[in-house]
């Protein structure tokens, strides 16, 4: 990531992830939180590895990384991913699919990815998938240029692709 891009993201996300100092501890700098989160997302480094790279204990990492991710999503979701909601919005995507891939009557491609997780306490076999491990499902819809059109995150590992699709916001868009 270029420094200018990091600074822009920090300016936008910083106010949402800034905490106040207390009598017991000094708050972590927003730049440190953002840098550790980006490193975690880009490399898949564990919290244990991050604690040595950024000199922050594992426990705070496990708290602030999800908070920073949520702040990034909240701030950028309207700008980065825009899912068409009308037939006229889907038509250019379908035209590009036909032109580029010679696939008529298609506007996007979809697939799901099982992301391995530890078994959540008290979840039973809800997150246990057919591949034999616990997971959360990321389902994505991409256009002809492999750009994300819509994403659905959080499906239980035991759910089928159709079940996740039927429970998603995308289903609501197509039913209208």
Residue 170 DSSP SS3: helix
Neighbouring C-beta atoms of residue 168, cutoff 10 Å: 19
Q: Where are the domains of the chain?
A: 3-78, 81-175
Over residues 153-164, the mean pLDDT reads: 87
Q: Considering the entire predicted model, what is its pTM?
A: 0.64
Question: Is 123 buried (19+), middle (13-18) or exposed (0-12) by CB count in 10 A?
Answer: middle
User: What's the pLDDT at 126?
Assistant: 92
Structure tokens at 159: 């759910």
- Tens digit of each residue's pLDDT (9 = 90 or more) over 68-122: 999 998 898 878 877 888 889 899 999 999 999 999 989 899 888 888 888 888 8
Question: Could you read off the pLDDT of 39-68 as tens digits, one per residue?
Answer: 988 887 888 899 999 999 988 998 999 999
């Amino acid at each position: 990531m270029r420094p200018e891009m990091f600074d822009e993201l920090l300016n936008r996300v910083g106010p949402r992830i800034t905490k106040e100092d207390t009598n017991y501890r000094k708050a972590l700098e927003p730049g440190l939180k953002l840098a550790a989160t980006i490193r975690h997302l880009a490399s898949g480094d564990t919290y244990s590895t991050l604690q040595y790279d950024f000199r922050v204990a594992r426990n705070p990492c496990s708290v602030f990384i999800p908070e920073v991710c949520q702040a990034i999503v909240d701030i950028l979701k309207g700008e980065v991913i825009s899912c068409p909601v009308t037939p006229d919005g889907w038509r250019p995507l379908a035209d590009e699919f036909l032109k580029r891939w010679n696939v008529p009557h298609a506007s996007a491609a979809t697939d799901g990815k099982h992301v391995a997780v530890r078994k959540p306490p008290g979840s039973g076999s809800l997150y246990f998938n057919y591949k034999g491990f616990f997971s959360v499902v990321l389902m994505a819809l991409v256009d002809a240029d492999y750009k994300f059109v819509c994403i659905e995150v959080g499906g239980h590992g035991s759910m089928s692709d159709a079940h996740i699709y039927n429970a998603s916001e995308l289903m609501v868009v197509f039913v209208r």
